[in-house]
Amino acid sequence: MLRALPRLWLCTVPADMRRQYDGLAALVAQQMDGDPLSGQGFVFINRRRTQLKCLYFEEGGYCLWSKRLERGQFARLSAGQGSKRALTRTEFEALIEGLDLAIKRRRKRWSKGFPLGAAMGE
């Protein structure tokens, strides 16, 4: 599996899976308004939802992880704002494993950087 990435982004626009490192890095910069050198992970799925690629940069160069399904499709996740959507580690793992993850309501959790009272709306 992928190393622990600080953030994962899903490109909500279907990607051409013939693209490799430079082509996907260009999609990150142009379509997703992201920095491909940031160390964050960028996930791309093709139109038929049978192939997935994840691009990230670590010390020394780009890494490209891919998966092609022989049967079935990757789940369709709801679109975020624009052409990208933030993915939690749980959502990414569910996507890879073929689970349908429908979150009706996200429960409040503590997050580093927020005072306890502010996180609960107090």
pLDDT in tens, 44-103: 999 999 999 999 999 889 999 999 999 989 887 766 567 888 888 888 888 888 877 666
Residue from 67, 57, 75 nearest 3 by CA: 57
Between the CA of residue 111 and those of 8, 116, 118, what are the distances in Å? 17, 9, 10
pLDDT for position 50 = 93
